Amino acid sequence: MEKNNLKFEQLETASKKKKIIYRWILFLILGIFALYYITPLYVMIVTSLKSMEEIRTGNLFYLPKSINFDSWLEAWRGQLVNTTSGLKVDAGNVYLKNYFWNSVKMVVPAVAISTILGALNGYALTKWRFKYDNIIFLLFLFGTFIPYQAILLPMARTLGVLGLSNSITGLVVVHVIYGLCFTTLFCRNYYVSISDEIVRAARIDGAGFFKIFFKIMLPISLPILVVTVIWQFTQIWNDFLFGATFSFGEAAPIQVALNNMVLTSTSVKRYNVDMAAAIIAGIPTLIVYVLAGKYFIRGLTAGSVKG
Amino acid sequence: MATLKINDINKNFGKTEVLKGINLNISDGDFLVLLGPSGCGKSTLLNTIAGLETANSGDILIDDYRVNDMEPSDRDIALVFQSYALYPAMTVRKNVTFGLEQRKTSKEKIEEALVNVSNLLKIDSLLERKPSQLSGGQRQRVAMGRALVRDPKIFLFDEPLSNLDAKLRVEMRREIKKLHQKLKTTIVYVTHDQTEAMSLGTSIAIMNHGIIQQCDSPKVIYDKPQNVFVADFIGSPSMNLIKGRIIEENNNLFFECDSSKSKTNIPLKNYKFVQNKNLKDKSVYFGIRPEHVYLNQNSDQSFEIKLKSELNEYIGHEQIITFNFNDQEILGKFSSSIDIPGNQEINLHFDLAQISLFDQKTEERI
Amino acid sequence: MIWLKRNLPKIVISPSFALLVWFVYGFILWTLYISFTKSKILPNYKFWGIDQYFRLWSMDRWHVSVSNLFIYTSLFLILCILIGIVLAILLDQKIRAEGFLRTIYLYPMALSFIVTGTAWKWILNPTLGIEKFFIDIGFENFTFDWLITPGMSIYTIVIAGVWQSSGFIMAIFLAGLRSVDDEIIKAAKIDGAGVVSIYTKIILPMMRPVFMSAVVILVHLAIKSYDLVIALTSGGPGTSSDMPAVFMTQYAFHRSEIGLASSSAIMMFLTVTAIVIPYLYSELKREDGKK
């Protein structure tokens, strides 16, 4: 008996030691990866707060000597230059203010319209089965995968014919159309998990298609609506391809403006302003991510694990 | 209160025929139970009556009025669902009154109906709660309240008790029965549970593969099953079906068991055949329920036989013994107070007044 | 009225469906047809045959694009999945700071490729970026100029791409790990399996559908990648980090070769289709199986 007990104790302490070592290795690896992910954000922030002089003499990771938001102001409303009529914004410079609002004007209607239509489609496809509804769903599903290069040319021509090229309205239309596949897919997958019997009960109670949607389905759809809105917001805000292809100059969304800003080599490279601009362009989606990370991830996984 | 007639209903989903020529006639105040295994078409039939599915052919008449082309809400029926289907975002009060509101009933009438129903079903204390805050039994009551409040012509129930635990199920079963006795409404009730069917129904329609196998009172279904399917489906354990054939000796008919080593012929002279032609040498099943196998003679039609007991299953109030009858199994059901030794020849009595015979080919009662 | 009531669901879905058919499938067909014509700056609807495809496949720039796509996709795929699985498994060890770490691993996914590209372009800057840091801390001969080295610039895109997307792969694997039935793990523990063999022999093989999803998503992302290339290298130096998506927009909107551009778009479309169709097929079959 005693011999056995001794053996058990040895086993116990050995496994305890092993566990502690494992734990440390675990945290070490996780920490290294955390550094990998966080470093670019850190570099962006510190660079945006430095002066160009400081950037040239110091290095990437040094903290700024003093906190200075000049680059942020410059990125937002342009560089101020001395003219005969006092300080003015330099006309030749790209700055973000107008384009930021362009993006807002584009995102809000595009997200709202595509989400409402997606919810109605998902509801109609799952709760009011009709002939070929599965095929229609499959067409929507496949639509989420197409590379947009295959539709860019005809879309550009169509927008031209409609007189919508180079306009925010045109971009709203494009984002609604290609967002529909995603919103329909998300909502369809959510509604399919809700019991059909609820809809049947409501039909027997005398409610019709829209009444059931607004009175019974919509009040329980909040989770999926949040996911859909966040997904659409992120996608449309971050879009570059459609923005760069269908609009230029004044009507461009923020990602296009940011890229132009970084690429213009009219004057000396100002990395601090570039970084401030990049942060400004990323802030709205980052805020959404921080505030509603749970829904954000759910959207990503919902968009990936389909069917 | 109303009558319901179903004339030759057919229904396909794509190529699969789910309902094949269903005919039913339900009179006012009847409690009809549709009973069958899952996938037999009973829920589809109920949904077709409700108007949630459309039949491919045939007529549905409520009070002799054809309702095929009417919306579910215009048929004046109410349906209680298996999952209860309570509206998740509404309170119990809203759930119960939603249907009346859709029909533009006056506020006073709605309130009156709500008070009546909530008293009847004892849900008056739950009215402000959401469905997620209710227990299974409470949800069940609310679902019934939602149906009752409209005072429809016909009540439809789609396996309403199958999501409850065993104890609650028995309780709710009794309440539904009481409710029917009190309100005397016409009810169509779908279930796969034979105890529920037997205890509730004034008549039972047994369905399989989209066909009604037999529609009769519970007693007739139990005593005189129309075919092998019904005989096998009703009763627990189900009816013993012994393979054999009918022979004639000295102008008397006997049942002779297959592979008979010892020639035990069971006399059939008192059996009421459906028709008397071509009985000789027919291959048949001899059907006797386990509860009609006795240890002592208790009927003038008893047939005495010695069988070896092979297995004893004790289940509390009774015991089920498996006997060897010429290498075919035969089960007997006895009170558990009797001591029955295993692996022994025992004297048994078959009550021949309670047997059934089926044609092996057609599986129909003969 | 009755007709309206009966067909309301179809009526509701028909505008969206019409948009889908016209703007997705119709447009793809249009692009397909144009790829069979001689169209330059304007569409020319005279059928010309598959000559554009011969032209495309005889172009050095297209070959560079395709081989870059191949390099990018394979590295992007391998690294994302490797990092994703390792992080997911490590995070699955009942870590106290899990929520915090997950937030850090995943935030790049919220940023656009343009922002990602801008940030990495600065970090990888050959004079003032990471190179200067290493020189400052004593590695005097350290050079890191992939961004401006033909043949190496494609790897900078991999670095930035993996940074942006690997957290997402971690998230879907973590979700997959969490959905494994607890009793299976308990049974394995009672059978004496260690942590490593529980993961390699039992849990990971059960992740097959998640693997499939991850591969399809990543390949799909890689084929579509355009923004990141533009922001980081603009396809340069020269055309050395071109990818098919960049090639297509170049020829469509800057070189007025819409016939050729269409043929490259169709090549991209076919590649995606070849991967997605079998995937969707198996996914839908799996869903049917569940019913």
- Residue A82 pLDDT class (50, 70, 90 cuts): low
Expressed as residue numbers, the domain containing C75 is 60-290
With respect to residue C27, please indicate whether it lies within any of the assigned structural domains. Answer: no
Beta strands in chain A (DSSP E): 80-83, 86-89
| Half-sphere CA count of B342, side-chain side, radius 13 A | 7
Which residues, 6 or more positions from A306, have their beta carbon under 8 angstroms from its beta carbon? Answer: A141, A144, A185, A189, C213, C280, C283
Count how many domains chain C has.
1
- Chains contacting A (3 or more CB pairs within 8 Å): B, C
Q: Of A103-117, B113-127, B336-350, C14-28, where does mean pLDDT reach its minimum? A: B336-350
With respect to residue C173, please indicate whether it lies within any of the assigned structural domains. Answer: yes
Statement to judge: residues B83 and B102 lie in one domain: yes
Statement to judge: residues B274 and B297 lie in one domain: yes
- Chains contacting B (3 or more CB pairs within 8 Å): A
Region label for B226, one of left (φ > 0), alpha (ψ between -120 and 50) or beta (otherwise): alpha
Report how far residue C87's alpha carbon sits from residue C174's, in angstroms, rounded to the nearest whole number. Answer: 8
Expressed as residue numbers, the domain containing B291 is 240-359
Please give the pLDDT value at position A130.
Answer: 83
Please give the pLDDT value at position A307.
Answer: 34
For B197, the token pair is: 């069917």
Please give the pLDDT value at position C267.
Answer: 95
Instruction: Look at residues B207, B208, B232, B220 and name the one whose alpha carbon lies nearest to residue B287.
Output: B232
- Is the CB of A296 inside 8 Å of chain C's CB atoms? yes
Smallest Cβ–Cβ distance between A153 and the set C25, C101, C252 belongs to C252
Please give the pLDDT value at position B192.
Answer: 92
With respect to residue B216, please indicate whether it lies within any of the assigned structural domains. Answer: yes
Statement to judge: residues B185 and B315 lie in one domain: no
Chain A: give the shortest CA distance to residue B52, in Å.
7
Please give the pLDDT value at position B261.
Answer: 67
Residue range B252-308, pLDDT digits in tens: 888 888 776 666 788 888 888 888 888 888 899 999 999 999 988 888 888 888 888
Report how far residue C69's alpha carbon sits from residue C154's, in angstroms, rounded to the nearest whole number. Answer: 9
Please give the pLDDT value at position C290.
Answer: 53
What's phi and psi for B154, nearest 5 deg? -135, 135
Count how many domains chain B has.
2
The predicted model scores a pTM of 0.84
With respect to residue B321, please indicate whether it lies within any of the assigned structural domains. Answer: yes
Statement to judge: residues B57 and B132 lie in one domain: yes
Whole-number average pLDDT of chain A:
86
With respect to residue C197, please indicate whether it lies within any of the assigned structural domains. Answer: yes
Statement to judge: residues B60 and B206 lie in one domain: yes
The chain A residue lying nearest C7, using CA atoms, is: A130
With respect to residue B36, please indicate whether it lies within any of the assigned structural domains. Answer: yes
Which among A54-58, A176-180, B149-153 has the top mean pLDDT? A176-180
pLDDT of C291 > 50? The answer is no
With respect to residue C125, please indicate whether it lies within any of the assigned structural domains. Answer: yes
Chain A: give the shortest CA distance to residue C241, in Å.
17
CB contacts, 8 Å: B78 with chain A: 204
Report how far residue B155's alpha carbon sits from residue B162's, in angstroms, rounded to the nearest whole number. Answer: 17
Please give the pLDDT value at position A92.
Answer: 61
Which residues, 6 or more positions from A212, have their beta carbon under 8 angstroms from its beta carbon? Answer: A127, A199, A202, A203
Residue length of chain A: 307
Instruction: Look at residues B176, B286, B297 and name the one whose alpha carbon lies nearest to residue B231.
Output: B286
Helix (H) or strand (E) holding B359: strand B356-359
Residue range B7-29, pLDDT digits in tens: 999 999 888 899 999 999 999 99
Tokens 């009794």 correspond to: B174
Rg of chain B over Cα atoms, rounded to whole angstroms, equals 25
pLDDT of C191 > 90? The answer is no
pLDDT of A14 > 80? The answer is no
Percent of chain C with pLDDT over 70: 98
Statement to judge: residues B79 and B201 lie in one domain: yes
Whole-number average pLDDT of chain C:
88
Please give the pLDDT value at position A306.
Answer: 42
The chain C residue lying nearest A57, using CA atoms, is: C128
Number of helices followed by number of strands (H, E) in chain A: 14, 2
Smallest Cβ–Cβ distance between C5 and the set A33, A208, A263 belongs to A208
Percent of chain C with pLDDT over 90: 45
Rg of chain C over Cα atoms, rounded to whole angstroms, equals 24
- Is the CB of A61 inside 8 Å of chain C's CB atoms? yes
Statement to judge: residues B182 and B296 lie in one domain: no
Statement to judge: residues B226 and B245 lie in one domain: no
What is the DSSP secondary-structure string of B232-284?
A: HHSTTTTPEEEEEEEEEETTEEEEEETT-SS--EEE-TT---S--TT-TT-EE
Chain A: give the shortest CA distance to residue B303, in Å.
53
Residue range B82-118, pLDDT digits in tens: 989 999 889 999 999 999 988 888 999 999 999 999 9
CB contacts, 8 Å: C235 with chain A: none
- For residue B205, the SS3 value is strand
Query: Is pLDDT larger for residue C111 or for residue C141?
Result: C111
Statement to judge: residues B271 and B219 lie in one domain: no
197-236 in C: which are within 8 Å (CB) of A?
A: 209-210, 213-214, 217, 220, 223-224, 226-227, 230-231, 234
Whether B270 contacts B253, CB under 8 Å: no
Instruction: Point out which residues pair with B313 in neighbouring strands.
Output: B320
What's phi and psi for B82, nearest 5 deg? -60, -45
With respect to residue B365, please indicate whether it lies within any of the assigned structural domains. Answer: no
pLDDT of B347 > 50? The answer is yes
Please give the pLDDT value at position C41.
Answer: 85
Region A53-79: what's the mean pLDDT? 83
* Domain of residue B85, CATH code: 3.40.50.300
Q: Cβ separation of A197 and B82 shorter than 8 Å?
A: yes
Which among A5-14, A114-123, A245-254 has the top mean pLDDT? A114-123
Q: Cβ separation of A120 and C13 shorter than 8 Å?
A: yes
pLDDT of A3 > 70? The answer is no
Query: Regarding beta strands B283-288 and B356-359, do their DSSP bridges make them parallel or antiparallel, or are they unpaired?
Result: antiparallel
CB contacts, 8 Å: A205 with chain B: 73, 98-99, 102, 146
Chain C: give the shortest CA distance to residue A234, in Å.
7
With respect to residue C218, please indicate whether it lies within any of the assigned structural domains. Answer: yes
pLDDT of B338 > 80? The answer is yes
Please give the pLDDT value at position A168.
Answer: 92
Statement to judge: residues B157 and B211 lie in one domain: yes
Statement to judge: residues B214 and B246 lie in one domain: no
CB contacts, 8 Å: B89 with chain A: 216, 219-220
With respect to residue B364, please indicate whether it lies within any of the assigned structural domains. Answer: no
Statement to judge: residues B201 and B325 lie in one domain: no
Please give the pLDDT value at position B203.
Answer: 94
231-270 in C: which are within 8 Å (CB) of A?
A: 231, 234, 244-245, 248-249, 252-253, 258, 261-262, 264-266, 268-269
- Chains contacting C (3 or more CB pairs within 8 Å): A
Residue range A197-252, pLDDT digits in tens: 999 999 999 888 999 999 999 999 988 899 899 889 999 999 999 999 998 778 89
Residue of A144, A153, A301 to mutate when probing chain C, most C C-beta within 10 A:
A153
- Residue A2 pLDDT class (50, 70, 90 cuts): low
- Residue C195 pLDDT class (50, 70, 90 cuts): confident
Region C219-241: what's the mean pLDDT? 88
Alpha helices, H only, C35-129 = 51-58, 60-91, 98-106, 113-123
Query: Is pLDDT larger for residue B284 or for residue A90?
Result: B284
Which among A60-69, A165-174, C131-140 has the top mean pLDDT? A165-174
Report how far residue C88's alpha carbon sits from residue C106's, in angstroms, rounded to the nearest whole number. Answer: 12
Region B125-141: what's the mean pLDDT? 91
* Domain of residue C179, CATH code: 1.10.3720.10
Please give the pLDDT value at position A267.
Answer: 60
Residue range B197-234, pLDDT digits in tens: 999 999 999 999 999 999 999 999 999 999 999 999 99
Chain C: give the shortest CA distance to residue A87, in Å.
29
Whether A81 contacts A87, CB under 8 Å: yes
Query: Is pLDDT larger for residue B297 or for residue B144?
Result: B144
- Residue C287 pLDDT class (50, 70, 90 cuts): low
Residue range B158-204, pLDDT digits in tens: 999 988 888 889 989 999 999 999 989 999 999 999 999 999 999 99
Q: Cβ separation of A204 and B52 shorter than 8 Å?
A: yes
